[in-house]
């Protein structure tokens, strides 16, 4: 009787453990993204290349928004002799063939906090107003997040620095890459950003706002870190955020110790925007062409007529695009 009870208890324990392991495994894999395959790079890549003047050296870091069938791209540009970044503007009807605004650039450095130039635009729209986050630097810090607003993408009202490094904190050296979620979450505006205490060893943090202008960081720690053994083993940087049924989808860029940059994704909870629900095992975009070198870097994701567009910079020199046709999510796995 004692022997039978022992084996019965042991058997029940195995069933319970096995069931919990299966449930945990299913929960981790319940959200299926990109069910129709991979993003496909366009045959016309690179779609934007340096020309002359303020963009004679490089064009990269594209931030794209699409409205009423019109794609608008704000991009970082540098000239051969300027030694600083500026923001250019281009338009497209198909997300592939872009024409530059005739009076570029639309944004240049003006203030002390922009002394080292303007970089890395990211854009969202609320009501009739565009909100552009960008990175600049001065003698005090090598990086801070700045904000400008516009109603036409051409004339910009600069609001100044909205988030800065904190002395002695995990982001004490630099912060940048402010990706604002394009919907309110739990009554607050949410922004994911990159911080670092040591060059290239970056993490992702979170900030909140009540008015889109004044931002604060509620936590003393980052909410997403690099992962040993993965493509993002050394650093992570937000690209763009959108809201889907399953949660907040953040497109981000990661790199390893060799500084090979690739694009990945993570989904945060809408109930708790600091909580990671699932994170990609492999990148959705990486270098495959000689002109891309070892760096592809994505700062926007947009959808138009059932096609998703990732516009990306390559080797801090040119701009390309990759597309995915179909639903962004697939059937959920059963528990």
Query: 49-107 pLDDT, tens per residue?
Result: 999 999 999 999 999 999 999 999 999 999 987 668 999 999 999 999 999 999 999 99
Q: Which residue has the tokens 């009807």?
A: 93
Alpha carbon distance 319, 296 (integer Å): 9
Alpha carbon distance 161, 115 (integer Å): 13
Q: Which residue in 299, 307, 319 sits closest to 39, CA to CA? A: 307
Q: Note whether 66 and 16 are within 8 A (CB).
A: no
The CA-CA-CA angle for residues 250, 278, 177, to 5°, reads 25
The tokens of 9 are what?
């208890």
Label residue 137 by pLDDT band (50, 70, 90). Answer: confident
The tokens of 265 are what?
């994704």
- What's this model's pTM, rounded to 2 decimal places? 0.89
Q: How many CA atoms lie within 13 A of 9 on its CB side?
A: 6
Using DSSP, state whether 13 is helix, strand or coil. helix
CATH topology (fold) of 32-325: Tachylectin-2; Chain A (2.115.10)
Alpha carbon distance 123, 133 (integer Å): 7
The lowest-confidence range among 159-173, 278-292, 321-335 is 321-335
Alpha carbon distance 311, 333 (integer Å): 30
Q: Which residue in 325, 332, 333 sits closest to 36, CA to CA? A: 325
DSSP letter (8 states) at residue 107: B
pLDDT mean over 155-161:
97
Tell me the Ramachandran region of residue 114: left when phi exceeds 0, alpha when psi lies from -120 to 50, beta otherwise.
alpha
Q: Which residue in 301, 271, 321, 314 sits closest to 34, CA to CA? A: 301
Per residue in 275-323, pLDDT (tens digit) is: 999 999 999 999 999 999 999 999 999 999 999 999 999 999 999 999 9
Q: Which residue in 242, 284, 326 sits closest to 38, CA to CA? A: 284
């Amino acid at each position: 009787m004692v022997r039978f009870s022992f084996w019965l208890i042991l058997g029940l324990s195995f069933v319970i453990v096995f069931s919990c392991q299966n449930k945990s495994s299913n929960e981790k894999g319940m959200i299926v993204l990109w069910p129709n395959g991979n993003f496909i790079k366009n045959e016309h890549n690179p779609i934007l290349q340096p020309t002359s003047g303020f963009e004679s050296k490089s064009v990269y870091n594209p931030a794209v928004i699409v409205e009423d069938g019109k794609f608008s791209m704000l991009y970082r540009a540098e000239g051969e002799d300027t030694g600083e970044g500026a923001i250019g503007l281009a338009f497209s009807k198909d997300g592939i063939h872009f024409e530059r605004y005739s009076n570029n650039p639309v944004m240049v450095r003006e203030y002390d906090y922009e002394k080292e130039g303007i970089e890395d635009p990211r854009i969202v729209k609320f009501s009739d107003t565009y909100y552009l986050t960008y990175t600049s630097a001065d003698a005090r810090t090598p990086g801070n997040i700045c904000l400008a607003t516009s109603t036409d993408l051409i004339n910009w009202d600069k609001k100044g620095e909205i988030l800065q490094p904190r002395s002695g904190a995990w982001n004490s050296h630099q912060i940048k890459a402010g990706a604002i979620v394009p919907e309110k979450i739990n009554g607050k505006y949410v922004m994911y950003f990159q911080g670092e205490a040591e060059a290239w060893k970056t993490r992702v943090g979170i900030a909140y706002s009540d008015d889109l202008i004044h931002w604060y960081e509620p936590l003393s720690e980052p909410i997403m870190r690099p992962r040993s053994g993965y493509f993002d083993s050394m650093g992570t940087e937000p690209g763009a955020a959108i809201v889907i049924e399953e949660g907040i989808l953040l497109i981000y860029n990661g790199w390893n110790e060799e500084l090979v940059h690739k694009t990945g994704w993570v989904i945060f909870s809408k109930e708790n925007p600091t909580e990671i629900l699932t994170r990609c095992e492999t990148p959705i975009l990486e270098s495959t062409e000689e002109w891309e070198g070892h760096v592809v870097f994505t700062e926007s994701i947009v959808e138009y007529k059932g096609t998703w567009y990732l516009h990306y910079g390559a080797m801090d020199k040119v701009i390309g695009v990759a597309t995915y046709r179909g639903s962004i999510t697939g059937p959920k796995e059963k528990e």
